[in-house]
Copies of this chain bind each other. A is one copy, B any other.
Amino acid sequence: MNQKEVTIAKPVMLDKNFFSGHSVDCVILGFEQGEIKVLLLKWKAFEKWSLPGGFIGNDEDLDKAAIRILQERTGISLPFLEQFHSFGDVNRKGKESFLSEIKSLIGHDSNLINWISQRFISTGYLSLVNIKKCNLVPDELSERCEWVSLNNVSNLIYDHNEMIKMALQKIKMQLNYLPIGITLLDSKFTMKELQLLYQSILGKEIDRGNFQKKMLKLDILIRLEKQNLGGAHKAPYLYKFDKLKYKKLLKKGFGYIN
């Protein structure tokens, strides 16, 4: 492989050679105050937000690159990200090129500018996390790194809004097969919190009683002591996931296997 021809220059985000023409973007979703939130970066150089993304090392697996990029850009370490789609439209960057902003970021090295402003195909990766367990550390390119409620997501750069949409579709599909709460909630939670999570993903109301019965019948929840938060009402039970039974359920398959 002739590296001189394929890798033109080093982008700034990492001190190594990158694979040309392909990038990764991460849709990291969390749940807080009854709302789904997505992890976004605010650029230092210009007034735009974007998904945490980056480039792939020449000697790096695509899946591994996603994990590294997320860590470097946001501080979040995850052992596994799920690929959900690759975005390869010619005009996926839209009309705004951010060229002057990019120059202010990376300097005026023309090789580098050419490299970074070429066409990129980007593969989207996805994960659901517990917001409280995430210690956010924005990288040097970013002014801020924040959880943004889905309703408040602005016009992101390139096709990042579409990426979020597709990630949510994928989540919806998995919701039918997987008890998703284990990654998004605290270790202890009430049935109401779990229900709010499902409702905000599905975008619809669910009957309270039926939801409770359905979840309990899965036999992956352990009921703990009651929690008295001091409302004028009965105290709700706390639950935690029975991780052993949860794993067994996963291994048994997602419903379409058998």
Contacts and interface: CB of A to CB of B under 8 A. Distances in A.
B21 A6 contact: yes
A86 B83 CA distance: 8
Interface residues of A, number: 42
A63 interface: yes
A16 B243 CA distance: 54
A167 to B, nearest CB: 14
A58 B114 contact: no
A141 interface: no
A256 B8 contact: no
A107 interface: no
B61 A88 contact: yes
Given A6-B20, A22-B22, A58 B119 contact: yes
Interface in A28-76: 56, 58-63, 65
Contacts of A62: 86-89, 121
A229 interface: no
Contacts of A83: 85-86
Contact of A86 (B2, B123, B255, B257): B123
A181 to B, nearest CB: 17
Nearest to A2: B114
A120 to B, nearest CB: 10
Interface in A1-19: 1-2, 5-6, 8, 19
Contact of A118 (B1, B115, B173): B1
Given A2-B118, A86-B86, A176-B255, 5 more contacts: A5-B8, A6-B8, A19-B121, A121-B123, A176-B256
A232 interface: no
A175 interface: yes
A244 interface: no
A154 interface: no
A22 B118 contact: no
A90 B59 contact: yes
A192 interface: no
A172 interface: yes
Interface in A207-247: none
A22 B20 CA distance: 9
A63 B90 contact: no
A77 interface: no
Nearest to A62: B88
